[in-house]
Chain A
């Protein structure tokens, strides 16, 4: 990490999409209005904005606050200075993601849409190239996807990709943990606490239940849509990573067969929310949709296209169109793979991990604090 103080921190955050944070006069209206802020103890968004204004890079990077905000936008609506605190919170999440990533790619992609698109195109072309070079025989009288792209080969590719991405993702998670728990403190924390808090991570990963506290009237619906999206996403991930042999078959099972039903559910759960989010971002009716960064658009478009091409593979396969199936399959993977490679560790996707991890870390911190108070109290008792 750089020095503690960074006089250009506000400019850095602006580069990640922050708006007018310099207009903030520290009144605290945003913090009062924010339904999520009360139990974080830090008084965000004001504190986060304050840290940015005052160039406190180290303190910002040690903070979990940006992750506690679910962007209802109420603070922005009520800010008397039009300092757009919500967008600053969003930008600081992007900033933190780029800081947790040690490769510098996240920073590059966030700051330059061109670089991100280029990376996606390159990886996409690479995948297409792999198919052009190594695809299996194309049976044309009936659909034999597993001959064109044998499932064990695809599975191997999946696992290699998953391993690489996990490495980057876990490296980011490690840095986040290291910084937020405090370099010196971390080693002193009892491993039991880390273990005890693990359920928290998974509960929040699957439910995002904290979001439910968000007071804004639209938040409920947004949460449900988001939940739908995550369930679709995780379903798809399970189907292609763990259950691929069961999922990618050439036999056409009846409609009600779980393999198909689950796949359809996942598709709808991906298509509907992404489409809906895109429309909202396009319309810019809500304050939260006023400012869309290229990274937001790319993420949604890629996810949408992945699901769309995925369902098309299914339609063509069930419809018995061999050539179309093979073609769209290559396109599907040429979108899905770059989407995962670029988005998962280096862009917006990573928040799926950072959000529950931040709540987990907050839980650890709290448990450590509680343990310390208990120790102090008993020490006092002994002294008395």
Chain B
């Protein structure tokens, strides 16, 4: 190990005697009630390289941070360890503190002695104390091999691509353009609006969907910063935040012929929306009887009703009763529902269908009082503001509710020919689980949502999907519109079932996030990416076989000592620093900055260091 250390370039930067400051936080008792912090501080002084070791009640407080700054100046510290809470909470706080004292922020290490010591071992104070010492010792070990690092800076192309021209896409485009960011809006169909044109009166305010569509569309079309590409799709995409290269294929050429466009954008927003679930042949007699339709079809039927008949009309017939069945294609149960081609079932709730049904049922009762309405649900999930009113009103308007259990969905059978009523048997839990039969002239299936078509982008950008196949955000609460690929954002139902209100809120958030990414001329990335030691690399290409991120690693030919040689080359914008390559390099030529193998070695040494006072 010694010999290799001598050879690595980074080591040349290590000062012969590092001066490390160790700061132990009591966390107001959260830590010190279990861990003997004073003892820890005392022992830590014995670790080679430690110049200062102190305890503070709240390190994150201003005086706590001030202590660090003062010591860096007075004690000439060049490395700092804070042993406190989780790095999620305060790593950036302390990194900021050392930066303000002109120290390189990557010469800072954070040790978590709260979650990992005092909380995890609260019944074993001695053990917790010993573990805290070991962890700090490891951090000091790592630090003594750390080198100053700089954030990676790359050019930032001030242009966004929004994929999908539904409510979400239109809103993102309009909001971004309003901030002066040029947007290219790619929509695969021949019009903007997404699902709006197939909707009718929207909940929760009864607004006509066409009216909302027209408003959003005019915001998009009136802004010259937005380039709308209809009948077009993204064919290839590569690159990284600030630098995505995209190829778009579509019918937007002046002559209407298929054309390809190549462009560079800094941010991509996925607003690819949803596909309504399509019941399988025969599911609830769908496609076997003309009067079994989906809520999507029913919206169209509602708009088409003419005159002032007291009964709903369909196919020139009076429909005297309609049964709505909730959760079709949603909340499916293993062993009850037939899986889709990919072997999966949709266990999730589509969230909009309940209020959609009640909205439609209420319209029927109000406009066609002679048409009776039955509502077969598992639960009524009218969760949004103003949604529950649809339930109350529908109930007051005489809609009769039935409740079934997911394992026992209702059965729909054809009684006699295409114009005869349908028979529905349901085990109704509002009637103590009695088997009831209903006859209805029409059955409306409340279809749920499945993810919109975005395979090309998902495959090429390696976008993660959730268990439900919708695009998966980084964190449902802390980073709800970001996806783990830097520079790609989520808006609307591409991410999960949402109603329009939520869709537009998410789209607004994505627009703001996108806007924030354009605040600098360059994009700054964490320096924790792979780097190759050209002297050690023998060009075996083993690393390439492991890398899962397209474009992050490549073999390049360079001139070395007059010969052309193959060497691995890292694209810092695309590398995520996972370290898969490090594990396979036969010559250990590739390392992740900030987490190099020699740093790990030093941490292990630190962990096993014997620090009993007498032995020193």
Show the binding face of A for B, using Cβ within 8 Å.
4-5, 7, 22-23, 25-26, 43, 47, 50-51, 53-56, 59
- CA–CA, A47 and B402, complex, Å: 13
Query: How many residues on chain B are close to A (CB under 8 Å)?
Result: 19
- CA–CA, A26 and B436, complex, Å: 16
Give min CB distance, B443 to chain A, whole Å.
Answer: 14
Is B428 among interface residues, defined by CB-CB distance under 8 A? yes
Contact B402 A23 (CB under 8 A): no
Contacts of B434 in A (CB 8 A): 59
Is B395 among interface residues, defined by CB-CB distance under 8 A? yes
Q: A43-B432, A50-B430 are in contact. Are A5 and B438 (CB under 8 A)?
A: yes
- CA–CA, A53 and B320, complex, Å: 15
In order of increasing CB-CB distance, the 8 nearest A-B pairs are A22-B398, A53-B400, A5-B437, A5-B439, A50-B431, A25-B395, A7-B321, A26-B430
Contact B395 A54 (CB under 8 A): no
Specify which of B320, B396, B438 is in contact with A54 (CB 8 Å cutoff): B438
Instruction: Pick 19 A–B contacts, CB within 8 A, sort by A.
Output: A5-B437, A5-B439, A7-B320, A7-B439, A22-B398, A22-B400, A25-B395, A26-B401, A26-B430, A47-B432, A51-B431, A53-B400, A54-B374, A54-B400, A54-B402, A54-B428, A54-B438, A55-B439, A59-B434
Specify which of A25, A47, A55 is in contact with B438 (CB 8 Å cutoff): A55
Main secondary structure, interface of A, reads mixed
Q: Which residue of A lies closest to B374 (CB)?
A: A54
Contacts of B436 in A (CB 8 A): 54, 56
Is B515 among interface residues, defined by CB-CB distance under 8 A? no
Contacts of A5 in B (CB 8 A): 437-439
Is B372 among interface residues, defined by CB-CB distance under 8 A? yes
- CA–CA, A370 and B223, complex, Å: 80
Show the binding face of B for A, using Cβ within 8 Å.
320-321, 372, 374, 395-396, 398, 400-402, 428, 430-432, 434, 436-439
Contacts of B432 in A (CB 8 A): 43, 47
Contact B396 A23 (CB under 8 A): yes
Give min CB distance, A194 to chain B, whole Å.
Answer: 27
Give min CB distance, B224 to chain A, whole Å.
Answer: 55
Give min CB distance, A227 to chain B, whole Å.
Answer: 35
Main secondary structure, interface of B, reads strand
Contacts of A53 in B (CB 8 A): 400
Q: Which residue of A lies closest to B437 (CB)?
A: A5
Q: Which residue of B lies closest to A28 (CB)?
A: B430
Contacts of B428 in A (CB 8 A): 54
Contacts of A47 in B (CB 8 A): 431-432
Contacts of A50 in B (CB 8 A): 430-431
Contacts of A26 in B (CB 8 A): 401, 430
Give min CB distance, B200 to chain A, whole Å.
Answer: 25
Give min CB distance, A196 to chain B, whole Å.
Answer: 30
Contacts of A7 in B (CB 8 A): 320-321, 372, 439
Contacts of A55 in B (CB 8 A): 438-439
Give min CB distance, A51 to chain B, whole Å.
Answer: 8
Contact A54 B398 (CB under 8 A): no
Contacts of A22 in B (CB 8 A): 398, 400
Give min CB distance, B103 to chain A, whole Å.
Answer: 68
- CA–CA, A9 and B454, complex, Å: 51
Contacts of A43 in B (CB 8 A): 432
- CA–CA, A13 and B592, complex, Å: 80
Give min CB distance, A63 to chain B, whole Å.
Answer: 12
Given contact pairs A5-B438, A54-B374, A54-B400, a sample of 9 additional A-B residue pairs in the complex whose CB atoms are under 8 Å apart: A7-B321, A22-B398, A22-B400, A26-B430, A51-B431, A54-B436, A55-B439, A56-B436, A59-B434
Contacts of A56 in B (CB 8 A): 436-437
Q: Which residue of A lies closest to B426 (CB)?
A: A54
Give min CB distance, A62 to chain B, whole Å.
Answer: 12
Contacts of A54 in B (CB 8 A): 374, 400, 402, 428, 431, 436, 438
Q: Which residue of A lies closest to B397 (CB)?
A: A22
Q: Which residue of B lies closest to A20 (CB)?
A: B398
- CA–CA, A181 and B537, complex, Å: 91
- CA–CA, A43 and B431, complex, Å: 10
Contacts of A23 in B (CB 8 A): 396, 398
Give min CB distance, A291 to chain B, whole Å.
Answer: 20
Contacts of B398 in A (CB 8 A): 22-23
Contacts of B372 in A (CB 8 A): 7
Q: Which residue of A lies closest to B441 (CB)?
A: A7
Q: A54-B428, A54-B431 are in contact. Are A4 and B437 (CB under 8 A)?
A: yes
Q: Which residue of A lies closest to B321 (CB)?
A: A7
Give min CB distance, B502 to chain A, whole Å.
Answer: 28
Q: Which residue of A lies closest to B398 (CB)?
A: A22
Q: Which residue of A lies closest to B434 (CB)?
A: A59
Give min CB distance, A65 to chain B, whole Å.
Answer: 13
Q: Which residue of B lies closest to A11 (CB)?
A: B372
- CA–CA, A59 and B437, complex, Å: 11
Give min CB distance, A378 to chain B, whole Å.
Answer: 29
Give min CB distance, B391 to chain A, whole Å.
Answer: 10
Give min CB distance, B435 to chain A, whole Å.
Answer: 10
- CA–CA, A94 and B437, complex, Å: 24
